[in-house]
Structures are given as structure tokens and as C-alpha cells.
Chain A
Amino acid sequence: MVKHQYRAKIAVVTFVAFCMMMTLALTACGSSSSNADDTLYILSSSKKVDLDPAKSQNLAITYSAYIERKLTTWDVSDSGGETTVVPDLATNIGEVSNDGKTWTYHLKDGIKFETGAEITSQDIKWGIERSFAPELSGGLTYHKDLLEDGDTYEGPFSGQDLASIQTPDDKTIVFNLNRSYGDWPWIASQPAFSPVPKGTVQTADYGKKPVSSGPYKVDSYEVGKQMVLVKNDQWDQATDDERTFDGKEPQKIIELLGQSAETATDRLIADTGNDQTAFSSDFVSPQKLAQIKANPTASKRLVTSSAGALEYLAMNTTRPGLSNLKVRQAIEYAVDKNAVRVAAGGENAGDFATTLITPGIQGRQDYDLYPASSSGDQDKAKALLSESGVDISSLNLVLVTETSSSLLNEAQAVQQALQQVGIKVTLKEVDSDTANDIITGSGEFDLVISGWQPDYPSANANLQPLFASNQIGNGNYNLSRFSSVDVDQKIAAAQSEIDETKAGQLWAEIDKEIMEQAPVVPLLYNKNTYIIGSKVSGFYIGSFPAYPVYFKIGIN
């Protein structure tokens, strides 16, 4: 469940934060004097990094892949082909039993931790078991619902082990699922499926310096300043077909933390000193994008993804007014998607969306249940509103938005469009943590603009987290509080389908069935734009996900 990161945000602008950022920027500038050509710099707006695999929601191809190998990983084509799941620590992507419930993996030879110890199947099992511990929550939960007895298991620290994961020998690991599940090889690429030395006791600090199985290991870490990764000499390229760096392999990777996205972009535009071998992990903001496009040398160093993650307007179906289907359908027509897209940065920001399953996902069918021009259809919206029988003038919908410029502009674009059909909207500006608490917790809101990058390229990862009724509240992302017994059953049926074509058809039907109930307005299939330094090579974005493949990025 990766909440799709938005285009570069202005960091929360309080005086304090502002001063801190200035200090950090100055510190970072101070260290730019020594230029080591083989060091890759990653500029990040986050202040903290937590690499604990049990708590992680990272994609298989981004930062954590430097440190952690999983049973499987992703092969992202640099020429537009489909992203596939491929073996990483395992010899293949899994052998499935006839009933689809048992998956067996064999480990490669020569795979080692940074300590030199051989990675065994018990280490993988320990890593997965840790993710069940209540104190290590926050990670992806797909496997927790699937492994037998996963619903009652409380983690290995109390001395219990999870019987549905068997390790007949050091090289073999067997998973017993409670139902047939066709996407299991993708699940095995998720963070919890990386090895943690068996018996490692739980400390809150594990995520600051995890035991590496990948090509790099953590050398030092300072919150709000930087994390330094150095080569892990125990990692053997011969066992790893995927982590192949383009050009010169970085000897050191320094992630500079707490960098304002705007400042980072400015540094990369200037492209001097260490910034030549740097990239920003935040997206380029619409304002900066317009500026860079006028700069011929910098615009060559932009990398834009194809249309990927879904950005949508969620309507809280439990709230007065929005509980009425006709009102929600009216909003489908009333929203001015073009105004939203311009606010998000225009054509660079993405393509107009009409479906819930995103482009590039198998089984996706293109359709539009609420056909209108990209600026909406106000007459249809007004007609539906008068049919609804709801007293529209009494409504005052609260749209929760983060105080970052592009999100606020998108919220205003929605607001003005709804106001034109007579629906009053009030914006509630809050910081991103508070916004998250409200939309995934208390539910005290009517509307929110959110984004969703599926955790793996499957319609299941598009739909289940956003529309299954067990994903409401408690930090989950069914933001519209959509609850339909029929949809729940169909999701379960589609998940169990091992035949990919059949599953695709089932998912396409669910997609339409949900949209008939109009719990969300699909706005855009987002494109993400990054800027890189002139000496960075191998920085590309495949058809899925809309993020770069970190372990291909080298230096030229």
C-alpha cells in the first residue's frame, strides 16, 4: 500500500522547519568541496529513513533494494516493455501446487549477509515472521492475510513460529496459503520477504542499520542529515542478474535527507560539483518544470514517466449528501479535470483518467461511465443533483488538502468546479501527517484528492486496497469508505483466479461495478518527472511503476 507520493511538495513551511532546511542546505553545500567521482548522491525531502523490512512499504526497485534482497524482484524494461517478476534470492519465481495454495522456493548458492554468513531459508522465515509482530507494524500486509494462521500470529519474539512457513532444509522454503492466490510471486518481492538473520532480537534501531544482503550496506546514518551506504563486499554479482549498474558502479551512495524539493531542484538545475552525480528522489514541481523547460541544458536532464499512478477525488460515502448515489454521480460530471491537470502542471502532470485500473496493468479495459469533455458537464451534473432529492444548498463539503502549493491548487480547481453547480466546498488545509490521520483514520471529511501507486502491477493492487470493505479506517486507504458485499466477494474470487486472462476479465468487471457506484472521481493517470545530474547514467522509468530503478543507476 504505497500512498503515491505527490509531485514535489514544498516542505511544511513553518518558521522552524524553514530555518532547519536552510541550515541543512548550508551544511550540504559546505560538504560539496571534495568531489569523489564514484559517489552517487540522492537528494531527499524526507528527514528519516527506516530500512526495517517489516515496517517498509517500499517498492522492490527503489532505495531499499540497495540493502535488501527478496525472494523475487522486478525486471523493469527500459524500452517500454512490461515489468515482470523475476528471481532474486530464489532460483525461480516459485513452484505452485495444483490447488494454488502451496508455493515452494529454493535459494541460490553463494548468497551471503554482509557478515559473511550464508543466507538460509530460516533467515527468510524470520524476516517474514517479524512482520507479524505488533510493534513492527506499518509494512505491507498482503502476505499477512494469505498465510495460513496469519490472522492470529503475533510474531516470533514471544517464541512462537508460524507453522504455515516450512523450511525443510537450509535452501528450501514452503508457503502454505489459506486460499489459492495467483499473484504470490509478486508478494514474494515485497520488503518482508528479505532475510533477517534468524534470532535477531527486536530493537527499534534495526531499521537504521539492517544486516545487508544487497550490494551496499549502511555505513552511517544521521537523522535529518544523511545516510551513507558503502559497497558490501560479501554481495556476489554472479548471484544477482538484476542489480546491474549502468556505467560506473557507485562506490558510495549518500542520501542527503531533509532537502527541500525546491532547493534540490535548483541545485540540480545548476549542476555543479557533487550535484553532477546526484538525483532528487522527489518529483519536480509544476512551477519548476515550467522553469526548467525554458532552460535547454537542464531540460535534457528531465526524466518523465509514462502515465501511471491514479490520482482521484475520494468522496466519503458515509457523509450526508455524499451517501446519495445521484449526488456522487453529479460530482463525476461536475469536476473539471482539465483545471485539475493544469493546477498539477499541465500535460506533464498526466493523462485524464476514467477507469480505476491504471494503464499498463493486465486486463485493463478502457471505458468511461460518465462521458463529458475534460472540463466536465455542468448541465448533466445539475440535472442529477435535482433528481437526487438532496437539499444541495444545505451542503458544505469539507475538502481536506495538504498545504503544499500544487495540491492546494488542485483542491481549489475542484472547489470552483463544484461551486459552479451549486455545491459549497470548504478547504481544510493541514500538514501531510494530519491529513493522513484524518483520511485514513477518523474519517471526519467529505472530499480528498489522493493518489495511488499499486504495490505491484496487478489490478488487485489497484482495486482491493481502495475499495474492499476491510480496508476502511485504521490507517487503510479505502478513503471513500466504500462498502459493498458484492464487490468484496468478486474481489476474493478474482484474487483466487490463477488463470491471468480470466482474472483480468473479472477485475475489469469489478472496476466498472465500482465506478457505477461512483465512490471516487478518477482525475489523472499521473506522470512523475525527475531531474538528474549530468553524470548520472542508467536513470530510466519503465511502464510500471512510475519510479526509477535505483539499482540500475550508475555514474558516467
Chain B
Amino acid sequence: MKKLLFNAKIPLLIIIVIVLLAILADALAALTGNDPYTYHLDLLNSDGVPLTGPTLQHWFGVEPTTGRDLFAIVTFGARTSLIVGLGATILSIIIGVIVGLFAGYHGGKLDIFLSQITNLVLLFPALIFMIALSGVVPDWFPRILLLILIIGCFGWGGIARVVRNESLRLKNEEFIVAAKVMGVKNRHIIFRHILPNLMKTVLIFTTISVPAMIGSEAALSFLGVGITAPTPSWGRSIAEAINWIYVDPWFLIFPAIFLFAITLAFNVLGDKLGAKEL
């Protein structure tokens, strides 16, 4: 365990820092009296380009054409990314575990049916469908919830397949067979014996899922079908900043670094956990 913690120290640290930034976004922004919505046109020149880079007042500088505080945009954007990333991951894990468990443990026709659906979800051109779907959903539907639902509902294929294979294996382990022979009910076997044995797999998979989900949110927002303005989102900031790369590189650097850092950190953490456990 000590070795694991040491190996995973740096990614864990990064994740903790970003999570703290997201949780404390309001408080941190309040330190300098900023929020991600207030315009500061006096900090821009007549073409809408920021007059300065990072300052004591605006730690990451300000956004071109609006003068909004970039630090606040990045930290509030972290909140958006993490809520969507974790929300979608939890949703996909729940669906994936249930489907995988039933398919693997129950077997037979149900297994064939559920496995086919899993394959369908895995092969489905999810991004295109997400773009289409987020275009037709009515305005009053909360956007963050919509993204969690869309990304979560298309992300459970992998976990379902892994859980199915694991439960197939577990089903034939001696302790399960013994339990069955003793007349233990299926429900008891699933919840008391199989699920606890799946926990490690699920944990590793969760860690690897989170960055993928965060990436999906950023991709959708980048394409203009994710979180609606003015709610900060890294993906949208990056899409906007690309146009400003020659004039105001700060605008691209901060959201991009954060997106890169959190995806990398979760992936490395997942790898370390996997290497240790499997």
C-alpha cells in the first residue's frame, strides 16, 4: 500500500488540487473580487485584446473581447468538468455493473441479449449521436444534467463487458459453487460474494473512465453543443482561444493545461492502481 501511494502521489496531488480549486472556486474568486461573469472592458484595448497578461488582480489574466477573469473561468470550468465527468462516470458504472453482472451471472439467453446491447453501445458512433441529441433537447432541460445523461448512457459498454467476464469467472469459483450448493439465494450471492470481489476492478475502471468522460464533455463543448454560455467550460474556452492563439496565447494555455493535467493524472492513477492490483 505504501508503494502504491508513493507511485500515485503526483497524480493524486494534481487531482486533489484541481478538485479543491473546483470546490473553492467561489471563495478563491472572491479573494480578488472576481467571478467568471463580470466584464472588465477597461482591461482591453480597442480591438478587444487584453492589455496585460496575468496580474495580481487577475491571476491568469482576462479573456479577450469580454475582460472576464480567466482564473475564475478556469476554476469554475473545473467544476463543470468534474461534475459532468464524475456524474457521467457514476451513471455509466451503475448501468455497466448491473448489465455486466446480470449477463455474466445469469448467463443463457439474457446473457446473449445483454451482450448484444453492450456491443451495440460500444460500436455506436456516440459523438455524432450526442451532437444530434443535444441539438433537439428543449431549452428548459438543465444542460449539465443532459450532458451527464448523454455521456453516461453511451459510456457503460466497456465496464459492462469487463464485469460480465469477471462474474462469469467468479460464478465458477469454488466458494460460489459451494454457496449455491448450500442453498444460498441468488440475491445474497450477488451482493455478498460477487459484488465485493468486483470492487477492485470497478474502482480501477472508474479511475480510467473519469478522464474519458471529462474529455467527452470538453469535446462536446468545443464543438458548441455542450455547456451553454456563459457557464464556464474548458472545452468552449479552448475552442474560442484557438482563434486568439497568435494574439493572446494565455487564453489557450490555462484551460488547456488544466484539461491536460486532469486527464493525465486520472489515467496515470488508473494505471498505477491497475499495475498494483492485477
Main secondary structure of the interface of A (DSSP, over half): helix
Does A286 lie at the interface of the complex (its beta carbon under 8 Å from any beta carbon of B)? yes
Q: Mark A403-437, 1 if CB is under 8 A from B, else 0.
A: 10110110111011001000000111110001000
Does A96 lie at the interface of the complex (its beta carbon under 8 Å from any beta carbon of B)? no
Binding stretch for chain B, among A33-41, A243-251, A336-344: A336-344
Provide the bound-state CA to CA distance between A408 and B227, in Å.
Answer: 13
Does A293 lie at the interface of the complex (its beta carbon under 8 Å from any beta carbon of B)? yes
Q: Mark A268-292, 1 if CB is under 8 A from B, else 0.
A: 0000000000000000011111110
Binding stretch for chain B, among A8-16, A313-321, A361-369, A504-512: A8-16
B48 A290 Cβ-Cβ under 8 A: yes
Partner of A339, one of B41, B46, B128, B239: B41
A290 B228 Cβ-Cβ under 8 A: no
Provide the bound-state CA to CA distance between A332 and B182, in Å.
Answer: 79
- Which residues on A sit within 8 Å (CB–CB) of B224? 13, 403, 429
Does B229 lie at the interface of the complex (its beta carbon under 8 Å from any beta carbon of A)? yes
Q: Mark A319-360, 1 if CB is under 8 A from B, else 0.
A: 000000000000000001011001101111000000000000
Does A25 lie at the interface of the complex (its beta carbon under 8 Å from any beta carbon of B)? no
Provide the bound-state CA to CA distance between A291 and B246, in Å.
Answer: 6
Does B230 lie at the interface of the complex (its beta carbon under 8 Å from any beta carbon of A)? yes
A427 B228 Cβ-Cβ under 8 A: yes
A291 B139 Cβ-Cβ under 8 A: no
We find that the number of chain B residues with CB closer than 8 angstroms to chain A is 31
- Which residues on B sit within 8 Å (CB–CB) of A289? 47
- Which residues on A sit within 8 Å (CB–CB) of B184? none
Provide the bound-state CA to CA distance between A289 and B64, in Å.
Answer: 13
Provide the bound-state CA to CA distance between A343 and B41, in Å.
Answer: 10
Provide the bound-state CA to CA distance between A416 and B135, in Å.
Answer: 24
Closest Cβ–Cβ distance, residue B234 to chain A (whole Å)? 16
Provide the bound-state CA to CA distance between A411 and B223, in Å.
Answer: 18
A345 B229 Cβ-Cβ under 8 A: no
B229 A429 Cβ-Cβ under 8 A: yes
A412 B66 Cβ-Cβ under 8 A: yes
B229 A408 Cβ-Cβ under 8 A: yes
Does B49 lie at the interface of the complex (its beta carbon under 8 Å from any beta carbon of A)? yes
Provide the bound-state CA to CA distance between A398 and B131, in Å.
Answer: 21
- Which residues on A sit within 8 Å (CB–CB) of B46? 346-347
Q: Mark B40-59, 1 if CB is under 8 A from A, else 0.
A: 01001111110000000000
B243 A415 Cβ-Cβ under 8 A: no
- Which residues on A sit within 8 Å (CB–CB) of B229? 408, 411-412, 415, 427, 429
Compute the total of residue contacts between A and B using a CB distance below 8 Å.
96
Does B127 lie at the interface of the complex (its beta carbon under 8 Å from any beta carbon of A)? yes
Does A204 lie at the interface of the complex (its beta carbon under 8 Å from any beta carbon of B)? no
Provide the bound-state CA to CA distance between A411 and B39, in Å.
Answer: 13
Does B65 lie at the interface of the complex (its beta carbon under 8 Å from any beta carbon of A)? yes
A346 B228 Cβ-Cβ under 8 A: no
Partner of A342, one of B65, B131, B139, B240: B65
- Which residues on A sit within 8 Å (CB–CB) of B124? none
Does B37 lie at the interface of the complex (its beta carbon under 8 Å from any beta carbon of A)? yes
We find that the number of chain A residues with CB closer than 8 angstroms to chain B is 43
Does B244 lie at the interface of the complex (its beta carbon under 8 Å from any beta carbon of A)? yes
Provide the bound-state CA to CA distance between A46 and B44, in Å.
Answer: 33
A287 B244 Cβ-Cβ under 8 A: yes
Closest Cβ–Cβ distance, residue A111 to chain B (whole Å)? 47
Provide the bound-state CA to CA distance between A428 and B229, in Å.
Answer: 9
Q: Which residues of A30-64 are within 8 A (CB) of B? A: none
Does A148 lie at the interface of the complex (its beta carbon under 8 Å from any beta carbon of B)? no
Provide the bound-state CA to CA distance between A288 and B248, in Å.
Answer: 11
B243 A409 Cβ-Cβ under 8 A: no
Partner of B48, one of A343, A419, A428: A343
Does A294 lie at the interface of the complex (its beta carbon under 8 Å from any beta carbon of B)? yes
A428 B139 Cβ-Cβ under 8 A: yes
Provide the bound-state CA to CA distance between A426 and B47, in Å.
Answer: 27
Closest Cβ–Cβ distance, residue B119 to chain A (whole Å)? 23
Partner of B37, one of A416, A426, A430: A416
Does B247 lie at the interface of the complex (its beta carbon under 8 Å from any beta carbon of A)? yes
Provide the bound-state CA to CA distance between A12 and B214, in Å.
Answer: 23
Partner of A347, one of B39, B47, B64, B228: B47
B65 A409 Cβ-Cβ under 8 A: yes
Closest Cβ–Cβ distance, residue B144 to chain A (whole Å)? 14
Does A262 lie at the interface of the complex (its beta carbon under 8 Å from any beta carbon of B)? yes
Known: A409-B65, A411-B229. A291 touches B247 (CB 8 A): yes
Q: Mark A395-406, 1 if CB is under 8 A from B, else 0.
A: 000100001011
Q: Which residues of B132-148 are within 8 A (CB) of A? A: 135, 139
B47 A285 Cβ-Cβ under 8 A: no
What residue in chain B is nearest A286 (Cβ atoms)?
B48
B243 A405 Cβ-Cβ under 8 A: yes
- Which residues on B sit within 8 Å (CB–CB) of A10? 243
Known: A338-B41, A428-B139. A405 touches B240 (CB 8 A): yes
Partner of B243, one of A14, A285, A375, A429: A285
Residues in A lying within 8 Å of B, measured CB to CB: 10, 13-16, 262, 285-291, 293-294, 336, 338-339, 342-343, 345-348, 375, 398, 403, 405-406, 408-409, 411-413, 415-416, 419, 426-430, 434
8 intermolecular pairs with C-beta atoms under 8 Å apart: A14-B128, A262-B243, A287-B243, A288-B243, A338-B41, A342-B41, A343-B65, A413-B39
